[in-house]
């Protein structure tokens, strides 16, 4: 099981429909050796969903060697090469780009690879061009997943040479109020049996269908419950007033 945000104990991976969609699309790009864009707002669970699916992928995606890149802010092609060396466990030195690129192409041609680039919107045009160069190189056997935030899709669209090679796109949406009532009680035992109206108020005030915000709210609620136990036999309040002190409300118009 991938680690939840804040290492939240007791949290579970909820089998929302998007996980099945993601599994099908990953299987498709692994078989066809193409590029996929996985998008969504920060905190909706893109990376967690990807980790859940990758941990249980059927063949042929399971056969592929997984490489993960999280580019540093404002990366250069040299920095991207260094990250790629770590992801593929290469011994080639990035100081010699020609020899390094030959080693990367040879590695990517030796077997199937699934290259995941998280926060791909950080890449500039030169870095995207380098990925395109590796993808187009003869004999390489690589599928690429570009994980981007909501505004990152516009960044990818500007890279026309790479965008034209992106055959699959999947957007992970925020939870709707109906999703919250169904999903959150399965997300953590704290919310099992909770009043759906109470969950709706928490979502409208703090979480807005965002799994990361729900993890924060759950974490702080558990902490506050430990600090302020209810009188014996009395129901515990929702702690909405107390949560205001640790979670600034994010009410939307």
**pLDDT tens digits, one per residue of 185-217:** 999 999 998 889 889 988 988 899 999 999 998
Same domain, 71 and 127: yes
Same domain, 138 and 227: no
Query: Could you list the residue range(s) of the whole structural domain that residue 129 is in?
Result: 5-171
What are 151-166's pLDDT values in tens digits? Answer: 777 888 888 888 888 9
Same domain, 162 and 102: yes
Q: Provide the domain count of the chain.
A: 2
Domain membership flag for residue 128: yes
Domain membership flag for residue 227: yes
- Of 171, 189, 220, the residue that ends a domain is 171
Domain membership flag for residue 154: yes
Mean pLDDT in residue range 42-71: 84
Domain membership flag for residue 252: no
Same domain, 108 and 134: yes
Q: What is the pTM of this model?
A: 0.87
Mean pLDDT in residue range 22-41: 93
Mean pLDDT in residue range 79-94: 90
For residue 218, what are its two tokens? 């759950």
pLDDT of residue 15 exceeding 90, the answer is: no
């Amino acid at each position: 099981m991938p680690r939840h945000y804040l290492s939240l104990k007791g949290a579970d991976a909820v089998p929302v429909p998007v996980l099945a969609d993601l599994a099908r699309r990953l299987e498709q790009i692994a078989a066809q050796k193409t590029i996929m864009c996985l998008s969504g707002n920060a905190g909706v669970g893109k990376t967690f969903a990807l980790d859940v699916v990758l941990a249980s992928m059927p063949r042929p995606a399971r056969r592929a060697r997984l490489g993960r890149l999280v580019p540093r802010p404002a990366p250069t092609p040299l920095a991207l090469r260094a990250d790629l060396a770590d992801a593929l466990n290469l011994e080639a030195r990035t100081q010699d780009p020609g020899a390094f690129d030959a080693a990367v192409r040879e590695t990517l041609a030796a077997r199937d690879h699934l290259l995941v680039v998280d926060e791909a919107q950080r890449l500039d045009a030169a870095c995207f061009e380098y990925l395109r160069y590796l993808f187009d190189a003869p004999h390489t056997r690589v599928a690429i997943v570009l994980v981007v935030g909501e505004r990152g899709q516009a960044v990818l669209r500007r890279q026309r040479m790479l965008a034209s090679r992106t055959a699959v796109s999947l957007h992970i949406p925020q939870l709707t109020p109906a999703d919250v009532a169904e999903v959150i009680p399965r997300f953590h035992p704290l919310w099992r049996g909770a009043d759906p109206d109470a969950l709706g108020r928490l979502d409208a005030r703090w979480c807005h269908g965002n799994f990361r915000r729900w993890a924060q709210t759950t974490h702080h609620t558990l902490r506050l419950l430990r600090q302020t136990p209810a009188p014996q036999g009395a129901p515990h309040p929702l702690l909405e007033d107390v949560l205001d002190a640790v979670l600034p409300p994010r009410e939307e118009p």
